[in-house]
Amino acid sequence: NAGVTQTPKFRVLKTGQSMTLLCAQDMNHEYMYWYRQDPGMGLRLIHYSVGEGTTAKGEVPDGYNVSRLKKQNFLLGLESAAPSQTSVYFCASSYPGLVEQYFGPGTRLTVT
């Protein structure tokens, strides 16, 4: 099992450009999440999904969109990147219930 994978690992964007980050999991997890991690601020939830075809906003959703067309994939889109979106992005997945989340390796995004 690959677990949770993220594509790409690194990306540099210019302000105003768009991009999509892909998260894939092979554990048949129902729930998937996108977080961003900034120095000194821990992980903050951007969007999450409790099942195929459903998405919901987290703590910091502005400037991002998501889609969950297939159970194993969760896409995070930036329509018009801003320097404030420079961060490390982590995807995670889990089963329902009192269980842990499994994290992907992260994507380091720099917006200039």
Partner 1 sequence: EDKVVQSPLSLVVHEGDTVTLNCSYEVTNFRSLLWYKQEKKAPTFLFMLTSSGIEKKSGRLSSILDKKELSSILNITATQTGDSAIYLCAPNIYGQNFVFGPGTRLSVLP
What is the pattern of x (binds partner 1, CB under 8 A) and - over residues 8-47?
A: -----------------------x---x----xxxxxx--
Of 77 and 106, the one with the shorter C-beta distance to partner 1 is 106
Q: Are 23 and 4 in contact (CB under 8 A)?
A: yes
Buried b (16+ CB within 10 A) or exposed e, 14-53: eeeeebebebbbeeebebbbbbbeeeeeebebbbbbeeee
Of 4, 75, 81, 109, the one binding partner 1 (CB under 8 A) is 4
Contact string (CB under 8 A) for partner 1, positions 65-94, x = contact: -------------------------x---x
> Is-contact 6 105, C-beta < 8 A?
yes
Chain residues binding partner 1 by CB under 8 A are 4, 31, 35, 40-45, 48, 50, 58-59, 90, 94, 96, 98-106
